């Protein structure tokens, strides 16, 4: 499998990154099967594995730790912090207190003495970035973390974080992990140009748009997996919303386009993400071995300019069909911030 530079770090990572959110209580509960899936991904040439402390409340990290025994040195291992871990208001966020506590717990669950890429899971304007970067810098200097990254940061926060690191003598964030797919192209406006300007690596998540581009969400079959998703994330999956009707129309058109090109919709969706010059790796998040096998083949797919033009005609550059899919919504747009 092709390897690409992770920004300007000097590290090379596979163009597909294995996401492990679906291992554990949130997806595949069988640890042995999850380990087999991870091993299959590694055997296929993937050397980049991404997880997070919050995935199945730490269970995903534990599974990854089991799978990497004896193979840890061959893997670029990424995990994340920040999301609420329980009801305690101090068990979350970007404070030094929480970072220093949670990194130790992640290291223990992962069964390793260092994390290659430690990422802040979301941006929070209430948290001083110098507070966060100060703690993370200490972890790098202590050898517990090699590199720093963030996920789903808006463009303004990406710039602010780079300036804070420069002005305060902190380690800087070297990667961004945004959501990116044919249906979710908002980051093409500013985020991808910025990460390229700063020489950052980009590991984009949800190339299948939360399953909308898996081939299972079609107008002629609106049953099955939609029911659970609609209950949990109605604004993204409720078919009564016009935004999601547009996603269905696009998924149907893209499936026809993929068929014309002799590809699966999954291959087309992942290959589209990988084609952008600002993307380092696309994170695939299989729940089963079948899912993994259907996504691995995308690594060998190259989309022609004609196919890319047809994709742009279905979903124009920079457009996200449902803004709820963008991953981060400014708190300053909430009614309380608008004094209403």
Active site residues: 55
Tell me how far apart the alpha carbons of residues 224 and 217 are, in angstroms, rounded to a whole number.
9
Three-state secondary structure call for residue 95: coil
CA-closest candidate to residue 20, choices 49, 58, 41, 57: 49
Running DSSP on this structure, what letter comes out for residue 10?
A: S
> Among candidates 97, 90, 73, 168, which has minimal Cα distance to 129?
168
| Cβ proximity of 215 and 303 under 8 Å | no
Q: Which residues of 160-179 are buried (b: 16+ CB within 10 A; e: fewer)?
A: bbbebbeeeebbbbbbbbbb
Closest CA to 248 of 218, 268, 214: 218
Task: Report the C-alpha gap between 69 and 258 in whole angstroms.
Answer: 39
Give start and end residues of each alpha helix (H) in 261-299: 265-275, 289-296
Spell 194-207 as b/e; 16+ CB within 10 A means b: bbeebebbbbbbbb
Encode burial over 233-271: b for 16+ CB neighbours within 10 A, e otherwise: eeebbbeeeeebeebbebbbebbebbeebebbbbbbbbb
Q: Which two tokens stand for residue 100?
A: 């220093």
Helix 242-260 vs helix 305-314: crossing angle, to nearest 10: 160
- The set of residues, in sequence order, having a beta carbon less than 8 Å from that of 309 and lying 6+ positions away, is none
């Amino acid at each position: 499998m092709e390897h690409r530079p992770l920004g300007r770090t000097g590290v090379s990572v596979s163009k597909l990154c294995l996401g492990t959110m679906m291992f554990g209580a949130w997806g595949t509960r069988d640890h042995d099967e999850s380990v087999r899936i991870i091993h299959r991904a590694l055997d296929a040439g993937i050397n980049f594995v991404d997880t997070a402390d919050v995935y199945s409340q730490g269970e995903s990290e534990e599974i990854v730790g089991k799978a990497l025994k004896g193979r840890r040195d061959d893997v670029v291992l990424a995990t994340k912090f920040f999301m609420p871990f329980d009801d305690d208001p101090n068990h979350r966020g970007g404070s030094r207190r929480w970072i220093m506590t949670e990194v130790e717990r992640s290291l223990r669950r992962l069964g390793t003495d260092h994390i290659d890429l430690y990422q802040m899971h979301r941006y929070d304007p209430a948290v001083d970035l110098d507070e966060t970067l100060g703690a993370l810098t200490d972890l790098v200097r202590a050898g517990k973390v090699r590199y720093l990254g963030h996920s789903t940061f808006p463009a303004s926060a990406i710039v602010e974080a780079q300036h804070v690191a420069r002005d305060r003598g902190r380690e800087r964030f070297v990667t961004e992990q945004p959501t990116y797919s044919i249906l979710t192209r908002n980051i093409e406006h500013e985020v991808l140009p910025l990460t390229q300007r700063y020489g950052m690596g980009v590991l984009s998540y949800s190339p299948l748009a939360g399953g909308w581009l898996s081939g299972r969400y079609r107008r002629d079959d609106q049953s099955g997996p939609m029911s659970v998703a609609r209950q949990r994330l109605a604004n993204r999956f409720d078919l009564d919303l016009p935004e999601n009707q547009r996603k269905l129309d696009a998924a149907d058109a893209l499936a026809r386009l993929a068929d014309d090109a002799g590809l699966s919709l999954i291959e087309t969706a992942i290959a589209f993400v990988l084609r952008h010059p600002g993307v380092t790796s696309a994170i695939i998040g299989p729940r089963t071995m079948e899912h993994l096998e259907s996504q691995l083949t995308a690594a060998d797919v190259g989309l022609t300019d004609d196919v890319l033009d047809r994709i742009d005609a279905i979903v124009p550059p920079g457009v996200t069909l449902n803004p709820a899919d963008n991953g981060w919504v400014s708190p300053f747009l909430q009614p309380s911030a608008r004094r209403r």
